[in-house]
Amino acid sequence: MPDNLPEWFPRTLAQATQFVPLRIVFLIVLALVARAVVNGLIDRTVRNTTGDRRRIRIRPLRALREPDPSAVGRRDSRIRALGSLARNASTVLITVVTILMVVSELGFNITSLVAGTSVVAVTIAFGLQNVVKDLVAGVTMLVEDQFGVGDYIDMKEASGTVEAIGLRTTTLRDDSGNAWYVRNGEIVRVGNFSQGGTGRPGPDHGTAKVRLVDPVTQTPARPED
C-alpha cells in the first residue's frame, strides 16, 4: 500500500476514469441502476394505489363505505396500464441517453451522428405509425375511462365483455366464448352498455327488424300463425 494514501487514491482514480472502456462500463452500470430505481419507484407507486395495499390505508370511518368493486377494478386496471407505459417510456429514455453517452466516449460527434440518422429515424417512424397510433389511442382510452375490464361494449365489428385493456390492443370475449383482439387505433366508436345502462344488450341487439307490408293495401301484414 502506498505511503501517502490521501494523494495516491485521487490520482489513481483520475487515471482510471481516463480509461475509455472503464468509463463505458461505468455508464452501463449507472444506466442499469437508474432503470432499476425508476422502475422500482413506479412499481411501488402502482402497488400503493391499487388492490389491497390501497384498501389497507383507508381510514376506518371511510372503510364503512364500501366502494363499487367494478369501479375499483376499472381504476386499478387503468393505473397498472399507465404504470406499464411509464416503465417502458423510462426504459427507452435511459437507453437512448446511455447510447448517446457511450458513442460520445468512443470519440464520435453526437451532433453529426444524430443529423445523419435523422432520415433513418423518420423512415422508422413512418413504418411504425400504426403502432404509435395504437399506443396513443390506448393511452387516451385509459385516461378518459371510456370502458374498463368487465364492461360489455359494442365496437361495431365486435362486441362482448372486456377482458383486458392493453396499450396496443383490447381483448373482448363475445357471448359465444370467442376472444376478439382489437387494435386500439382501429376503434372508431364504442357503445358501453355498462355505463348507466342495463349492463348487457337485449337478445335483439344487432338483429335487423323487418316489417311485412301488404303490397295491395300498403298496410302492415299480420304474421301467419
Distance CA 174, CA 172 (A): 6
Note down the domain range covering 166.
144-192
pLDDT in tens, 16-73: 556 567 788 888 999 999 999 999 999 999 888 876 555 544 444 444 455 556 666 6
* % the chain with pLDDT above 90: 13
My answer on whether 25 and 61 are in the same domain is yes
Rounded CA-CA distance 103/28 in Å is 12
**Is there a domain that residue 85 lies in?**
yes
Q: Whole-model pTM above 0.75?
A: no
Query: Are 28 and 104 part of one and the same domain?
Result: yes
Residue among 92, 197, 105 at smallest CA distance from 154 = 197
Tell me: do 86 and 171 sit in the same domain.
Answer: no
The reply to whether 149 and 97 lie within a common domain is no
Angle, vertex CA 25, rays to CA 20 and CA 31, nearest 5: 125
CATH label of the domain that carries residue 162 = 2.30.30.60
